[in-house]
């Protein structure tokens, strides 16, 4: 069975391939193999709706089962922001570091005990006959007061994991691929794929 990963994010592609490389008879390709695929507008109101929009569009274009995820950071003290806008928070053209600093500025008066947040990842595996399967994963933590760690991407440097006494950006890739929101959603997806392959 062949599936296409519906993302151009190299970090996500690496994480996904790492999770699925042990499933026999599964070939995973990324979207770069199809350079003419148009971008899919994320107009959904939830992570799951956006993942479904992307997966459906990529399968319709390629005729191949596709896997799409939508994920982001949900911060309680910010009313759930940045949420589905995590990758575009603050507007186009900002770097990950810029978005982290913007979020920390918004949180500057929030006390430690009120800095709860979670990463959420929703995944859709979409089939050419319009069947689809969904999976989700979450990872709970706190927003730090300053970035820490050089690994990871996105909001990892400001997302503190109390059980690990470090930020997501301080974990090595193997550990992150075991405990992150995407890892948990991918584990659930891997079980679905094992039944389909």
Give pLDDT tens digits along the chain (197 positions).
999 999 888 878 888 888 898 898 999 998 888 888 888 888 999 999 999 999 999 999 999 999 999 999 999 999 999 999 998 999 989 999 999 999 999 999 999 999 999 999 999 999 999 999 999 999 999 999 999 999 888 999 999 999 999 999 999 888 888 899 989 999 999 999 988 88
pLDDT at 113: 93
Look at the chain and count its residues. Answer: 197
Domain 2-196, CATH class in plain words: alpha beta
Among residues 30, 39, 69, 70, the one annotated as catalytic is 70
**Kind of pairing between the strands at 2-5 and 66-75:** parallel
How many whole angstroms separate alpha carbon 69 and alpha carbon 54?
A: 8
pLDDT at 152: 80
**Quick one: tokens of 113?**
């005990």
Q: Do the Cβ atoms of 15 and 183 come closer than 8 Å?
A: yes
Based on the residue annotation, tell me whether 70 is a catalytic residue of this protein: yes
pLDDT at 140: 97
The full set of domain ranges for the chain reads: 2-196
pLDDT at 104: 97
């Amino acid at each position: 069975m062949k599936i296409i990963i519906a993302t151009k994010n190299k970090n996500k592609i690496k994480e996904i391939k790492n999770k699925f490389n042990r499933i026999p008879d599964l070939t995973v390709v990324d979207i770069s193999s199809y350079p003419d695929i148009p971008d899919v507008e994320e107009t959904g109101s939830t992570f799951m709706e956006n993942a479904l929009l992307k997966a459906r569009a990529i399968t319709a274009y390629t005729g191949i089962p596709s896997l799409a995820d939508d994920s982001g950071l949900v911060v309680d003290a910010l009313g759930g922001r940045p949420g589905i806008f995590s990758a575009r928070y603050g507007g186009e053209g900002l770097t990950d570091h810029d978005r982290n600093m913007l979020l920390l500025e918004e949180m500057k008066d929030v006390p430690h005990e009120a800095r709860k947040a979670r990463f959420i990842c929703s995944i859709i595996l979409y089939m050419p006959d319009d069947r689809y399967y969904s999976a989700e994963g979450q990872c709970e933590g706190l927003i730090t007061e300053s970035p820490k760690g050089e690994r990871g991407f996105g909001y990892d440097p400001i997302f503190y994991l109390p059980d690990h006494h470090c930020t997501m950006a301080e974990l090595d890739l193997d550990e992150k691929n075991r405990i992150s929101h995407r890892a948990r959603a991918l584990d659930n997806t891997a079980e679905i794929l094992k039944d389909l392959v």
